[in-house]
Amino acid sequence: MTLPSGPLRPAFQGVAVIIVLRQASFRRLLALALFCACAFLQACSTAGSYSLAIAHLNDSHSHLEPTPVTLMLDGQKTVVQAGGFARLQTLVDEMRIANPDLLLLHAGDAVQGTLYFTLLNGQPEFAFLNRLGVSAMTLGNHEFDRGTAALPTYLQWAKFPFVSSNVDFSGDAVLAARHVPTRIVQETKGERIGIIGLTTESTPQTTLDVGQVKFLDARASAEREVAALTAQGVNKIVLLSHLGYAEDLKLAAAVNGIDIIVGGHSHTLLGDPASLGSIGLVPAGPYPTEVRAPDGGRVLVLQAWKWGQMLGRLDANFDADGRITGYAANPVIPVADHFVRDAVTVPPDSPAYAQIVQTFKPGGLLRLVKEDPQAAAALVPYGAQLENFRKATVATATDDLLRGLNSGPGPLVADSMLAALPKAQVAILNNGGVRKDLLAGSISVGDVLEVMPFANTLVLLDLSGAQLKEALEGDIDFLISKKYPSPYPYLAGLRMTVAPNAASGQRVTALAVKDDGGVFQPLRPDAIYRCVVSNFVAGGGDGFASIRNAKGFRSDSGIVDADALRDHLKALSIVRKPSEQRVKVLEL
């Protein structure tokens, strides 16, 4: 029997009992009496309280292997390898040893984002989620990236329940027959926990084809399911939300009865600004972010960054009425003991390595975590398939494609962005996003990955004509200041004339956007244009601050830029040197 621990303790906290016993028989008798007394006290003290243990993921996006993250360690930029399912397995197993009743939740977008999904269609992703022991998951918009036909297979592969409260499958006979629940109830430690799930209503606008599946109003769906659970006597409710952090905050403040929101979709990093700032990261809010519902109840909003680079962890305490009375938060960024500085591996026997290791604190946010050997071994066969895939030919180039103004792979990449997201009118690619020329001859998957090595995702967003011009001006200013030999972005669906020697903010003229008929029309400052950019550009990289600050529609498609280029080249089969003059330069 163990006494309750954590942020909320019994009333007898701090009472010390020291007993000195000399006779073994009396000691055994007294031990039994103390055991019974402790059991009685614990039952009394916890009769009206309950602690729920949650670990959670979101937007793992087929990142089965660890991914590089640049941190500030010991005052220097250091690249670490974060996440990976073998490392997550170690963490989850340790958490379950400490708390066997742990709920492991996933807030959607398990697939799309690496070659694992491109080649193997999601099977290894669900195999590793099963291995982790996921308790429940909701659907992200990228679960629809292969259309609705792929969903029954995902549901079959998953050895855990999906819950979806605002997706209406009744118009799709196959999915309707699978009876995806709108709510589920899981029991832990004798308490019933209601779980509901929401998917962003913008899914039909940001994914391939949702067929006859309908996405219902998120708030109304949440209110309906909370009412149904409450009618069943369930007073502890967790929402798995794939709406995004900002929408989660709004929902938490608008709907009564939700206690915890495990979020996703926006890839939001939450945590203590001081702790994260010390390693070079900037959170969007605290972990958890606490919101008050209309009835005054506390709602804890969670999110665990992206790609398995963080594992969220929360213990929430409830009173007898199902209201949150306290919590302990302990999210983890698990990393490998391999560090790179200035493109050079830090030797393990060096003083610099020792200094880096000293920055990791036991039980802290940033932890050195070993990979689970069995999970790592299970990944090896999948990795071998990927290596063979990288050697495959996707197209043939008739000419050398050398980087420069309106030349090289850049224009093809911009075209591929529009091909991947045909609802966009304009594609903008930062100059530095293209890292390699392509020479005449066979182009392999590996070549494509060297051209686009950053695994950036494509983001759909709306810009006014004025914002679009401002964005281009900002990027060209930046490139000129950095002395780029060809200081211009790559474009598709858009033309412009640039006077590089003109005053800052006045260099770009003659902007024109291609209409549905393929005719270029003058840009209108007050018109709204749907654009596709990389997540790097969407975040303001390379001088695109106006894109970062734009407040209109925005949705990360999750499509990796290299995947879009590969598919576009494969569709072309024969690739020729670009000839269209999308950027015209005037030397004044």
Residue with tokens 């498609």: 557
Position 485 scores a pLDDT of 86
Lowest mean pLDDT among 65-69, 110-114, 176-180, 197-201: 110-114
**What is the arithmetic mean of pLDDT over 301-327?**
97
End-to-end CA distance of the chain: 83
Q: How confident is the model at residue 41 (pLDDT cuts 50, 70, 90)?
A: very low
Average pLDDT for residues 336-348, to the nearest whole number? Answer: 97
Per-residue model confidence as pLDDT tens digits over 174-222: 999 999 999 999 999 999 999 999 999 989 877 767 999 999 999 999 9
pLDDT band at 22 (very low <50, low <70, confident <90, very high): very low
> What pLDDT band is residue 533 in, cutting at 50, 70 and 90?
very high
pLDDT digit string (tens) for 132-150?
999 999 999 999 988 899 9
Question: How do strand 76-82 and strand 67-73 relate by DSSP bridges?
Answer: antiparallel
Q: Tell me the two tokens of residue 100.
A: 């066997």
Model confidence at 13, pLDDT cuts 50, 70, 90, reads: very low
Report residue 30's pLDDT band, with 50, 70 and 90 as the boundaries: very low
User: What integer pLDDT is reported at residue 454 of this predicted model?
Assistant: 86
CA distances to 86, 89, 381 from 93, rounded to whole Å, are: 11, 6, 23
Q: How confident is the model at residue 492 (pLDDT cuts 50, 70, 90)?
A: very high
- Peptide bond preceding 373 in cis form (omega within 30 of 0): no
Nearest to 446, CA basis, from 408, 394, 371: 394
Would you state the pLDDT for residue 362?
Answer: 87
**pLDDT over 90 at 88, yes or no:** yes
Confidence of residue 534 (pLDDT cuts 50, 70, 90): very high
- Asked if residue 1 has pLDDT above 60, the reply is no
Nearest to 242 by CA among 262, 215, 272: 262
With a pLDDT cut of 90, the percent of the chain lying above it is 85
What value does the mean pLDDT take over residues 96-116? 95
Find the length of the chain.
Answer: 588
Q: What is the mean pLDDT of residues 386-394?
A: 94
Helices within 302-371 (DSSP H only)? 351-358
Residue, of 28 and 247, whose pLDDT is higher: 247
Structure token digits, residue 44: 């009394």
pLDDT-wise least confident of 21-25, 405-409, 474-478, 506-510? 21-25
495 has pLDDT over 80: yes
pLDDT more than 70, % of the chain: 91
Q: Categorise residue 446: left if φ over 0, alpha if ψ from -120 to 50, beta otherwise.
A: alpha
- pLDDT confidence of residue 48: 67
* Rounded average pLDDT over 345-354: 97
Residue 46: is its pLDDT beyond 70? no
pLDDT of 29 above 90: no
Higher pLDDT, 482 or 70: 70
248 Rama sector, left if φ>0, alpha if ψ -120 to 50, beta otherwise: alpha
- The beta-strand segments (E) located in 373-519 are 393-397, 426-429, 441-444, 457-464, 490-492, 494-498, 508-514
- Name, in order, each residue with C-beta under 8 angstroms of 328's C-beta and a sequence gap of 6 or more: 6, 7, 314, 315
Of the listed ranges 28-37, 155-164, 487-496, 557-566, the least confidently predicted one is 28-37
Task: Return mean pLDDT, the chain.
Answer: 91
pLDDT exceeds cutoff 50 at 541: yes
Closest CA to 505 of 478, 541, 537, 534: 478
pLDDT grade for 588, boundaries at 50, 70 and 90:
low
Quote the DSSP letter at residue 371. Answer: P
- Position 137 scores a pLDDT of 98
Q: What is the mean pLDDT of residues 269-295?
A: 97
